[in-house]
Amino acid sequence: MDVDLCFVMDCTGSMGSYIEGVKNSIKKVVDYMANMEPAIRIRIGFCGYRDHCDGSNRLQIFDFTNSPENFKNSLSGVSASGGGDTPEDVLGGLDAAVSRMTWRNDIRVLLHIGDCPPHGRRFTYTDDNYPDGDPNGLTAEGVLGEMQSAKISYFFGEITGLTKTMISEFKNIIGEFNVFDFRSTPDTEGLVEKFFDATCSAINTAITLRE
């Protein structure tokens, strides 16, 4: 089976204590999946997002590759930085993953990891520089609709309770999806194991859905 697997991750400063753990988890997943060939062949990509105040550093995109070593080398350059208010450019990150990456295989998995919601009162009542929503005009309906049209299976890794409303709103738009609980102590082997198990579960679920 041929699979496109994309990790979309909040890379702002608030994720600092999780970034290395998640990166180590992704590298473990990459090594494991490489050993699954030829039964399962996986192209792996990454889209990191920050916030609108971060300018050229807002997005960090590594398009799909079937080279584990190239992917791990690219991932090594990802670090937690930026971000201003509590919400982040979640919709921008998801939109970039859907529209700017070269999805090709029939089985398409997007695993989103983040600790904060998108901008807009619809998602949060915390401090928000864009309470009316995404300043570039993106909407959850538009971004998630494009994701569905592209037949990409969405999964979310929950780190804090701040994303509860986002999860609920997303489910209202696209229906049920798996939410993995990563609310554990950062930088522990437990996080690596949880992330590894979640990724394998997401791939298996996406395969089942396409059968």
pLDDT tens string, the chain, 211 residues long: the values are 899 999 999 999 888 878 877 778 888 888 887 787 777 888 999 999 999 999 999 999 999 998 888 888 888 888 888 888 899 999 999 999 999 999 999 999 999 999 999 999 999 988 999 999 999 999 999 999 999 999 999 999 999 999 999 999 999 999 999 999 888 655 556 777 888 888 888 988 988 887 6
Among candidate residues 187, 123, 200, the one with its CA nearest the CA of residue 159: 187
CA 108/CA 6 separation, integer angstroms: 8
CA 161/CA 194 separation, integer angstroms: 18
Determine contact, residues 14/115, Cβ cutoff 8 Å: yes
| pLDDT, position 16 | 82
| pLDDT, position 141 | 98
* pTM assigned to the model: 0.93
| pLDDT, position 185 | 57
**Superfamily (CATH H level) for 2-210:** von Willebrand factor, type A domain (3.40.50.410)
**Beta strand ranges found along the chain (DSSP E):** 2-10, 41-49, 59-65, 107-114, 153-158, 179-181
Query: What residues contact residue 19 under an 8 Å CB cut-off, 6+ apart?
Result: 11, 78, 79, 80
DSSP helix/strand/coil, 13? helix
